[in-house]
């Protein structure tokens, strides 16, 4: 069900709900949300899945890092008609030769038992379904930055899908 949501409130709730995970407890989490962000049109269950996947991936990428910084930011991108959410981790990063494959189902660089290779493909599918966009920047040994733009709500405008 697509509704108008406060993405900052949703992200606060999601981060709080993941606090029980041992790996999350070992991270320094920094949230930087612009105040007064406009609402976005989305399915809150699917958006929760997007950010849970991104945060869990980020935490897993930092398991062997000495620095474990997880940064989540929200910015208004009104000129683009969107809100931009960025998840950054200081983990292992993604090798350049793997960047073209990260959204392919079942592709994973994680060790056996650590992942199915479905997280990022699901994230991309949901973001696409919401008429949003996703950009990934990564540097081996320095971390990964994933930026998602989701369309703003607009009176009289159709919701992204459904």
pLDDT in tens, 16-60: 888 776 667 788 999 999 998 999 989 999 999 999 999 989 988
Q: Quick: pLDDT tens for 56-91.
A: 899 888 988 888 999 999 999 877 889 999 999 999
> Across the chain, what does the average pLDDT equal?
88
Per-residue pLDDT, averaged over 135-145, amounts to 95
Distance CA(46)–CA(130), nearest Å, equals 10
DSSP state of 130: T
CA 93 and chain centroid, separation: 15
CA atoms of 133 and 119, how far apart (whole Å)? 16
pLDDT band at 154 (very low <50, low <70, confident <90, very high): low
* pLDDT for position 156: 42
What is the SS3 assignment for 125?
helix
Is the entire prediction scored with pTM above 0.85? Answer: yes
């Amino acid at each position: 069900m697509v509704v108008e949501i406060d993405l900052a409130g949703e992200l606060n709730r999601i981060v709080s709900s993941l606090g029980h995970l041992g790996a999350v407890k070992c991270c320094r989490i920094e949230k930087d949300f612009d105040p007064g962000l406009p609402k976005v049109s989305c399915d809150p269950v699917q958006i929760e899945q997007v950010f849970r996947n991104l945060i869990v991936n980020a935490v897993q990428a930092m398991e062997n890092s000495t620095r474990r910084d997880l940064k989540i930011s929200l910015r208004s991108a009104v000129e683009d008609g969107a809100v931009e959410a960025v998840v950054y981790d200081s983990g292992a990063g993604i090798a350049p030769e793997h960047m073209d494959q990260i959204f392919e189902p079942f592709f994973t660089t994680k060790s056996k038992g650590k992942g199915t290779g479905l997280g990022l493909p699901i994230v991309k599918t949901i973001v696409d379904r919401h008429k949003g966009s996703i950009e990934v920047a990564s540097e081996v040994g320095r971390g990964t930055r994933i930026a998602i733009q989701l369309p703003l709500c607009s009176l009289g405008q159709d919701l992204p899908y459904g």
